[in-house]
């Protein structure tokens, strides 16, 4: 059985003081959840990673970063390497988020470089894939997913793909309040799993965890994670509110497939 994973992407929000406050609240409210049944990951801005690490070091919460560069070191002003993230205590790294693709022109080639680097350093990549509203309306959802999966995961071995988390995030549902229905999420994520079966094999594909991301909230999380191919959620704005994120995590933890 695939373990549920809920990850909070704090995006470009929270000062260090605010991040510490939220991390302390999550630690207090979620302390009794069994990490063998659900993984909880929080991804603050780079500036708050070390302080949040100190807060959650003795808890069931895990630390993730929102991005990384593919080189270990060098003259790459403004970038952060896997070595730095490991040094600060990160275990997860979000890669290829739609906002990175949209605002910073990240391509599948860039996503692939980052994913392979993260795996090489023993970290866990959360690789984001998904279509825009225009692409969905043109009936291109499956074509976009095929492009993102085949090219974003190129040259990743069968052994390594088992450590990858895939986040299906329909771009039209991110931060818009519009959420894909549970049926739409299941359809897309089932297709992603079928692509993995073609790239690797069916048994391997069944072990890979696939999250849903896009206006996740307490009101829809239970229905989403009840779907057979939805193994959790990548939560954006709702993860910035203590009460909201706690409800999402607790409700997801109560769903048994």
List the catalytic residues: 97, 169
Q: Within the chain, what is the greatest distance between any pair of CA atoms? A: 48
Under 8 Å between Cβ of 149 and 198:
no
Helix 141-152 with 108-120: angle, nearest 10 deg: 40
Output the CA–CA distances (angstroms, integers) from residue 210 to 80, 166, 182, 205, 257, in the order listed.
26, 5, 14, 10, 14
Q: What is the token pair recorded at 174?
A: 């991110």
**51 vs 239: CA distance, rounded Å:** 18
Nearest to 101 by CA among 112, 91, 92, 90: 112
Under 8 Å between Cβ of 211 and 174:
no
Q: What is the token pair recorded at 10?
A: 């704090």
């Amino acid at each position: 059985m695939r373990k549920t994973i809920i990850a909070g992407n704090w995006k470009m929000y929270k000062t260090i003081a605010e991040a510490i406050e939220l991390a302390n609240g999550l630690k207090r409210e979620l302390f009794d959840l069994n990490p063998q049944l659900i993984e909880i990951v929080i991804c603050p801005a780079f500036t708050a990673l070390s302080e949040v690490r100190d807060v959650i070091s003795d808890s069931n919460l895990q630390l993730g970063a929102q991005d990384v560069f593919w080189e270990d070191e060098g003259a790459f002003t403004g970038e952060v390497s896997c070595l730095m993230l490991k040094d600060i205590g990160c275990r997860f790294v979000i890669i290829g988020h739609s906002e990175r693709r949209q605002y910073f022109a990240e391509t599948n080639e860039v996503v692939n470089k980052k994913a392979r680097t993260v795996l090489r350093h023993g970290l866990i990549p959360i690789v984001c894939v998904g279509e825009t509203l225009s692409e969905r309306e043109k009936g291109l959802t499956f074509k976009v997913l095929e492009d993102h999966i085949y090219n974003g995961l190129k040259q990743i071995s069968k052994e390594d793909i088992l450590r990858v988390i895939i986040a299906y995030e329909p771009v039209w549902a991110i931060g818009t309040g519009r959420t894909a229905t549970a049926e739409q999420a299941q359809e897309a994520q089932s297709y992603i799993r079928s692509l993995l079966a073609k790239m690797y094999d069916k048994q391997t594909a069944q072990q890979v965890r696939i999250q849903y991301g896009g206006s996740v909230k307490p009101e829809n999380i239970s229905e989403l994670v009840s779907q057979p191919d939805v193994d959790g959620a990548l939560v954006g704005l709702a993860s910035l509110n203590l009460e909201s994120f706690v409800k999402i995590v607790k409700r997801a933890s109560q769903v048994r497939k």
